[in-house]
Chain A
Amino acid sequence: MTDPIHQFQIHKLFSIAKIGSAEIAFTNSALYMIIAVTVICAFLIGSTRGRALVPGRLQSVSEMLYEFVADMIRGATGPDGMQFFPLVFSLFAFILVANTMGLIPYGFTVTSHLIITVALALLVFLTVIIAGFWKHGLHFLKLFVPSGIPIYILPLVSAIEVMSFLTRPLSHSVRLFANMLAGHITLKVFAGFVTMLGAAGILGVVGATVPMALTIALTALELLVAVLQAYVFAILTCIYLNDALHPGH
């Protein structure tokens, strides 16, 4: 039970279909994703149902959430980036709720699995490429040719630009995954110290208060990391979308 990796196990709840030897199963990961989406939808629909001119408490929260994401997009991409508001808002809300839900004891963190974060990062990456070519055609490739660079080092700079563009989904996804994974493992390792010391007798129980206090402090830190990583993911999405909208440097 003290295995810190145990919490990340995906297990099957029930089977949906079978294609050849591959099985499509409803897992605890899928359950938590559905819970996250349900929580977001229920909160946003429920809090804005009144459509009061002077918002109440809950409506203020959802309006603040809207304004926060809208300011982020306007700041990073300019006013024409607002057409991507639904994408950025969905990503931000989903990651925020999934991250914070994972902090509940015995919970499961959806975003601590690379497959989920890669799917989200590839969604952003492909959106940037498709929207860039859709809006600008081949002028989108100007992204890789910064202006004002002497012609003899331009090939080198372009190669670096292409490389940095292609590594974006990698760093975008692994950042969220690694932060969630490392934080939860640290938390469980410290929680393991509490049980190990607590089993060692009366002196151990006194000693166990130190890792217990550290666990509580780490939980607060993890809450900060959970919110910060959702923000980082969303602002990087905005910055990448800015490249699709304004490819010239």
Chain B
Amino acid sequence: MDPIAAKYIGAGIACIGMGGAGVGVGTIFGHYLAAAVRNPSAADGQFPRLIFGFAVTEALAIFSLLIALLLLYAV
């Protein structure tokens, strides 16, 4: 296979990982919303934790994005 083609295919495959993190971020916000609707008075207090969980989950998406960017521009 042409190595440049392989590079682009690899970058595309690396981006699949972001889909998994998308599911995770959706789960976090969905569960937060479900809990916030049940008990709105406790929702504001948990907002920093929501953002922390979102950030930690998003970090995994960032790692696969980083692999894609490395393949596209650094390899």
Contact: B52 with A178, CB < 8 Å? no
| A236-B58 Cα distance, complex, nearest whole Å | 13
Contacts of A239 in B (CB 8 A): 52
Stretch at the interface among B5-13, B23-31, B32-40, B59-67: B59-67
Contact: A175 with B48, CB < 8 Å? no
Contact: B48 with A75, CB < 8 Å? yes
| Chain A interface size, under 10 / 10 to 19 / 20 to 34 / 35 or more | 10 to 19
Contact: A76 with B48, CB < 8 Å? yes
Contact: B66 with A170, CB < 8 Å? yes
A167-B59 CB under 8 A given contacts A174-B65, A174-B66, A178-B65: yes
Q: How far is the CB of B28 from chain A (nearest CB, A)?
A: 13
Contact: B51 with A175, CB < 8 Å? no
Is the C-beta of B16 less than 8 angstroms from some C-beta in chain A? no
> Which B residues have a C-beta under 8 Å from some C-beta of A?
48, 51-52, 54-55, 58-59, 62-63, 65-66
> Which A residues have a C-beta under 8 Å from some C-beta of B?
72, 75-76, 167, 170-171, 174-175, 178, 231-232, 235-236, 239
